[in-house]
Chain A
Amino acid sequence: MRWRWQVSALLLWLLPALAAVGEIYPARSVPAEGTLTLYSTLDTAVFEPLLVDFQQLHPGIGVRYENLDARPQYERFVGEADAGIQSADLLISTSMDLQVKLVNDGYTLPHGSVSADALPSWARWRNEAFGFTFEPAVMVFNRAAMGDRTIPQSRAELIDQIRRDPEFWRSRIGTYDISKSSVGYLLASQDVRLSNEFGALVEALGDVDLQVEENTSTLLERIESGDLVAGYNLLGSYARARPDSNRNFLLVYPRDHTVVLSRTVVIARNAPNPALAHKFLDYLLSVRGQRVMAARCGLPPIRKELDGVYERLGVNESQIGVLRPISLGPGLLVYLDQQKRRQMLDAWRAILGPTQ
């Protein structure tokens, strides 16, 4: 009889999810408590250890995990919610700004727990949005390709090197395409806000034919292969997660300031299984969840209980400048403003234009 029940349960998932089924982790025990649906910008393979460990704690909960890019994920979810479709229970995104917009526009549910209270205040907003990782945006260099050149430790030093030897850097430095990558846009907007040198940097990068890519892994592959010498504003976690990172990659936390991004999770207001969503969120923010995430997903945890900041990042304090975490809050809505976004993309294209 058991197989028949499972089949019917499977059919139940399939019906609303015909467009994109995603990865399914069925419940491991009977009675099943239901299935939790996650929309996430994190690669399934990266996130899987967390799901497996969660199911060990709650074998009755099945999980459907759907990997989407940040903006499509946002647009799809808002479309579904506005149409009255109950789709995702939890949304995980690197786009802190889009997550804040979901909260601001009333698409999310509040969540309260001891673990949530333990988060730093910048990683929490209205008890509805929670940052659960601690990921600095770094400069990544290919050790071999740099040879015995000095490694720039700040934006000013990078500008200086580019200006001194533009031919070395031509077409060999990359970053996110901010018109396509939400993370790239968020990090660039924070640079605009925080850095006096960003304008000069973008200008310098434009002069040496900046290479842009939509996602991190492509950039890292190009740096690894030596096609690119350096990458600017990349999430260091990806670089560190690669198997041969120690040999090939050199991560630099810009001395002037290092923007820190925190992947953000929210519970959907119209979640089909809000109880399960609260359970998973509680697990994700718990010390156990954070530990599993740090050890097996390669994502630096946010909970201070685990380790100090530098231990968590695997760096020495002397190697690192001022850390500037992006604070969850209404300020993030500014760069989502239609006009603001258009102006920023226009300026970006204007600088990089001749070479695009």
Chain B
Amino acid sequence: MPQRLGTQRMVERVRSLRARLVTTMALLFLAGTVVMYVAVRAYGQRAADLSYDRLLSGSALSIAETLSVDGSEVRVDIPYAALDMLSAAPEDRVFYRVYGPSQHTVTGYDDLPGHEVRQAGEIEPSDVPEPRFFDAQYRGEQVRFVLLGRQLAQPGLRGWVWVQVGQTRRAREELASQLVLGALLPIALMTLLSLALAWFGVGRALRPLKAISEDLARRDPYDLHVLQTPVPREVGPMVDAMNGFIRRLDANITGLRAFIGDAAHQIRTPLAALRAQAQLALDESDPGEMRAGLMSVERHASRLTRLVNQLLSEAMVMHRTDNRHFEEFDLVDVVKRAVRDVVPVSDDVQVGFISGVAKAPMRGDAVLLGEAIKNIVDNAIKHGMSEPPRLDEEVDIELHPSNGGYRLTVSDRGSGITVDDRTRIFQRFERGHARSPGAGLGLAIVSRVVASHGGNIELIDRQGGGLTVCLTLGGMT
């Protein structure tokens, strides 16, 4: 046996399952976090604006409450709280402006950035406009403004007065950042936790595989028990496949061992007999006796040859039934060739083949079936001779379609096989008669081949004496 160099080399390693899983998850989480950041950022800005806008409009409202008209002048008395309440955003600068009809500044910063407002005429007298918010650059900082309109209608003055209050955005940005941080921090922590879980989880999940590999590594070379380690459902099919493989290997090796044992046992006796015959022949001085001895040697040798052939044939059959090489072939053709191989040209035995079909396509192993048919026909020729010989000694082979398959019968005119022997005869090294020349393997081979094709074999008595071997085979299935 050549040395198996390959066994020590590891299978090529692709990237680790764990790294692959964790990388994929990390990328997924990263993408998710980016999306979350954008969403949360927008949300945070909106939430911060919403809460501080209330403060801003509250301030503007409290200023607007104090608006009054004195003669033709707009008066406003800014409450302390109006600006002080804005120090809820402690770091933010505050700007305000009150301006009346025709943009005239009543009080406050007269250079505040304006905002397009509807002209006084366009507003219905009953209309109380909602405060309007907008951002603008002022004195080097981004400022959030609110603009609130009030309609004044006094004898000296009619029209709209606007209160504009602005506040820099520091507190808003800070609140928005806090909201973003508050939302993203748990997500980031969860991400890290999940990655860690995946990292260790893979290790845990693969632990049964480790146990299996340790089990296999510990075994001695002849230990072919199936794997018993309990494994998760996901790994089940792999372990089942491995167990199937181990079982086949076991069966093969057992078969091989049995075969070698049988072969050794079967060959030893005829070989010893052959040697004894040869020695006897050598010891004879009489040429006549010597010739008789040599004939005996020749007989034993041919028997041994037949035995060895059958043994090899059986080995071949065993091998091929284990590795099902099924293909399409024509059964008629196979039968014809088998008959041609087996029937000696010079012999006076008559072998007839009648086929009910011109072609019998079927699926199977043509070589095996050919071997089986050869064995049956051979048996029929060898055992089918009646004592004394009759004129109508013939072997008839018939092939007929049956139930989508075929029925192949081989009939002889021999002494037949008793009903008691009909099951025993299919076992290895069992012969119909103790003195018959076969090795007792023929029908065992046939039985094996037919079984591997899902067929059936039957022995029945032939009308008018003899035995009929009847094979039922599937067709294209």
Residues in chain A within 8 A of chain B (CB atoms): 103-106, 121, 125-127, 193, 327, 329-331, 333-335, 337-340, 343
Q: A330-B84, A337-B107 are in contact. List 8 more A-B contacts (CB 8 A).
A: A106-B141, A127-B91, A329-B84, A330-B86, A330-B87, A330-B93, A330-B94, A340-B107
Given A334-B78, A337-B78, A339-B75, A126-B93 contact (CB < 8 Å): yes
Choose from A125, A127, A331 the contact partner of B80 (Cβ within 8 Å).
Answer: A331
Q: Is B333 an interface residue (CB 8 A)?
A: no
Q: How many A-B residue pairs have CB under 8 A?
A: 58
Q: Is B163 an interface residue (CB 8 A)?
A: no
Q: Is B435 an interface residue (CB 8 A)?
A: no
CB-defined contacts of B93 to chain A, threshold 8 Å: 103-106, 126, 330
Does B107 contact A329, Cβ atoms closer than 8 Å?
no
> Shortest beta-carbon distance, B450 to chain A, in Å?
99
Does B106 contact A334, Cβ atoms closer than 8 Å?
no
Does B87 contact A339, Cβ atoms closer than 8 Å?
no
A193 to B83, CA, bound (A): 13
Does B94 contact A104, Cβ atoms closer than 8 Å?
yes
A interface: dominant SS: helix
Q: Is B79 an interface residue (CB 8 A)?
A: yes
CB-defined contacts of B76 to chain A, threshold 8 Å: 339
Closest to B109 in A: A105
Q: Is B390 an interface residue (CB 8 A)?
A: no
Q: Is B108 an interface residue (CB 8 A)?
A: yes
Does B80 contact A330, Cβ atoms closer than 8 Å?
no
CB-defined contacts of A106 to chain B, threshold 8 Å: 93, 139-141
A308 to B95, CA, bound (A): 37
Q: Is B470 an interface residue (CB 8 A)?
A: no
A338 to B139, CA, bound (A): 20
Q: Is B388 an interface residue (CB 8 A)?
A: no
CB-defined contacts of A327 to chain B, threshold 8 Å: 87
15 contacts between A and B (CB under 8 A): A103-B93, A104-B94, A104-B95, A105-B93, A106-B139, A125-B90, A331-B83, A333-B83, A334-B79, A334-B84, A338-B107, A339-B77, A339-B107, A340-B78, A340-B107
Q: Is B381 an interface residue (CB 8 A)?
A: no
A139 to B90, CA, bound (A): 32
Q: Is B82 an interface residue (CB 8 A)?
A: yes
Does A331 contact B78, Cβ atoms closer than 8 Å?
no
A280 to B365, CA, bound (A): 106
CB-defined contacts of B81 to chain A, threshold 8 Å: 331
CB-defined contacts of B79 to chain A, threshold 8 Å: 334
A331 to B93, CA, bound (A): 11
Closest to B81 in A: A331
> Shortest beta-carbon distance, A10 to chain B, in Å?
36
A335 to B81, CA, bound (A): 11
A337 to B94, CA, bound (A): 13
A105 to B93, CA, bound (A): 8
A104 to B83, CA, bound (A): 12
Does A334 contact B82, Cβ atoms closer than 8 Å?
yes
Closest to B94 in A: A330
> Shortest beta-carbon distance, A191 to chain B, in Å?
12
CB-defined contacts of B94 to chain A, threshold 8 Å: 104, 330, 333
Listed residue (A125, A127, A327, A329) with the most chain B CB atoms within 10 angstroms of its CB: A329
Does A343 contact B77, Cβ atoms closer than 8 Å?
yes
A340 to B78, CA, bound (A): 7
Given A329-B84, A330-B83, A334-B84, A340-B91 contact (CB < 8 Å): no
A96 to B139, CA, bound (A): 21
